[in-house]
Structure 1
Amino acid sequence: MDTNIPLRVQRIHDIALGVKLFDLVHVDGVALTPFEAGAHIEVRLPNHLSRSYSLLNAPGEQHQYQIAVHNSPDSAGGSHYMHESLQEGDVLLASLPRNNFRLNESSGYSCLVAGGIGITPLLAMMHRLNALGQHWELHYCARTAAHAAFVDEVRILAATSGNAAYFYFDQEPGGQALDLAALGRSVSTNVHLYCCGPRGMLDAFEQATAHCRDRAHVEYFTAKSEAALDGGFTLELARSGMTLQVPAGCSILDIVFDAGVSVPSSCREGICGSCETRILAGKADHRDALLSDAERSANKSMMICCSGAKSDRLVLDL
Structure 2
Amino acid sequence: MITRAPAPGIREPREEAPRRGIARRLARATRALATPLLPDDYLALVNPLWSTRALRGRIVATRPVGHATTELTIRPGAGWAGHRPGQHLGIGVEIGGRRHWRTYSITSAPGDEHLTVSVTAVPDGSVSTFLARTAAPGELLTLGPAIGDFAPEHDGPLLALTGGSGITPILGHLAGGAGTATGADTVVVHSGRGERVHGDDLGRLAASRPRLRVHEHDSGSGRLRPADLDDLVPDWRERTVLVCGPAEMIDEFSAHVAEAGATCLVERFRPPEPVAEGTGGRVTFTASGIVAEADAVTPLLRAGEDAGALLPSGCRMGICHTCVGRLRSGAVLDLQTGELHIADDTTEADDAVVVRTCVSAAAGDCRLDL
What is the rounded CA distance, in whole Å, between the counterparts of 2:297 and 2:356 in structure 1? 14
Q: In the alignment, which of 30, 53, 65 is matched to residue 104 of structure 2?
A: 53
Q: In the alignment, which of 70, 81, 84 is matched to residue 133 of structure 2?
A: 84
Structure 1: segments with no counterpart, 5+ residues? 233-239, 241-246, 289-300, 310-315
What is the rounded CA distance, in whole Å, between the counterparts of 1:192 and 1:32 in structure 2? 30
How much has 1:270 moved relative to structure 2? 3.6
1:24 matched to 2:74? The reply is yes
- TM-score, length of structure 1 as denominator length: 0.71
1:126 matched to 2:165? The reply is no
- Asked whether the 8 Å contact 1:51–1:78 carries over to 2, the reply is yes
Q: In the alignment, which of 43, 54, 60 is matched to residue 10 of structure 1?
A: 60
Partner of 1:183: 229
**Alignment deviations for residues 30-56 of structure 1 (CA, whole Å, 9 cap, x no partner):** 694321011111010111210101000
Partner of 1:313: none
**Alignment deviations for residues 14-35 of structure 1 (CA, whole Å, 9 cap, x no partner):** 12211111100136xx694321
Q: Secondary structure at the match of 2:217?
A: strand
What is the rounded CA distance, in whole Å, between the counterparts of 1:252 and 1:31 in structure 2? 29
Residue 304 to residue 214, structure 1, CA distance change in 2 (3 Å): farther
Partner of 2:27: none
What is the rounded CA distance, in whole Å, between the counterparts of 2:318 and 2:275 in structure 1? 9
- Asked whether the 8 Å contact 1:71–1:79 carries over to 2, the reply is yes
Pairs aligned (count): 284
What is the rounded CA distance, in whole Å, between the counterparts of 2:275 and 2:62 in structure 1? 35
Structure 2 residue identity aligned to 1:43: I
Residue 154 to residue 103, structure 1, CA distance change in 2 (3 Å): farther
Q: In the alignment, which of 250, 257, 269 is matched to residue 221 of structure 1?
A: 269
Structure 1 residue identity aligned to 2:57: L
Structure 2 residue identity aligned to 1:201: M
1:42 matched to 2:90? The reply is yes
Partner of 1:195: 243
How much has 1:199 moved relative to structure 2? 2.0
Structure 2 residue identity aligned to 1:86: A
How much has 1:115 moved relative to structure 2? 1.0
Q: In the alignment, which of 218, 227, 232 is matched to residue 169 of structure 1?
A: 218
How much has 1:60 moved relative to structure 2? 2.8
Partner of 1:236: none
Residue 88 to residue 214, structure 1, CA distance change in 2 (3 Å): same
What is the rounded CA distance, in whole Å, between the counterparts of 1:198 and 1:219 in structure 2? 10
How well do the aligned residues superpose, as a CA RMSD in angstroms?
4.4
**Alignment deviations for residues 116-147 of structure 1 (CA, whole Å, 9 cap, x no partner):** 11111101112332465211100011101x23
Structure 2: segments with no counterpart, 5+ residues? 1-51, 281-286, 288-293, 328-332, 338-353, 363-367
Q: In the alignment, which of 275, 296, 303 is matched to residue 249 of structure 1?
A: 296
- Asked whether the 8 Å contact 2:89–2:315 carries over to 1, the reply is no
How much has 1:252 moved relative to structure 2? 7.8
**Alignment deviations for residues 257-291 of structure 1 (CA, whole Å, 9 cap, x no partner):** 79xx9862356554665325799xxxx95618xxx
Q: Secondary structure at the match of 2:209?
A: helix
How much has 1:202 moved relative to structure 2? 1.7
The share of aligned pairs that are identical, in percent, is: 22
- Asked whether the 8 Å contact 1:287–1:306 carries over to 2, the reply is yes
Residue 59 to residue 278, structure 1, CA distance change in 2 (3 Å): farther
- Asked whether the 8 Å contact 2:70–2:119 carries over to 1, the reply is yes
**Alignment deviations for residues 164-197 of structure 1 (CA, whole Å, 9 cap, x no partner):** 11001232xxx45322244289555542111111
Q: In the alignment, which of 133, 139, 142 is matched to residue 192 of structure 2?
A: 142
Partner of 2:209: 160
**Alignment deviations for residues 199-228 of structure 1 (CA, whole Å, 9 cap, x no partner):** 222222233223157721111112311264
What is the rounded CA distance, in whole Å, between the counterparts of 1:304 and 1:227 in structure 2? 16
1:66 matched to 2:116? The reply is yes
What is the rounded CA distance, in whole Å, between the counterparts of 1:277 and 1:210 in structure 2? 34
- Asked whether the 8 Å contact 2:300–2:361 carries over to 1, the reply is no
1:306 matched to 2:363? The reply is no
What is the rounded CA distance, in whole Å, between the counterparts of 1:17 and 1:219 in structure 2? 23
Residue 188 to residue 205, structure 1, CA distance change in 2 (3 Å): closer
What is the rounded CA distance, in whole Å, between the counterparts of 1:276 and 1:53 in structure 2? 20
Structure 2 residue identity aligned to 1:209: V
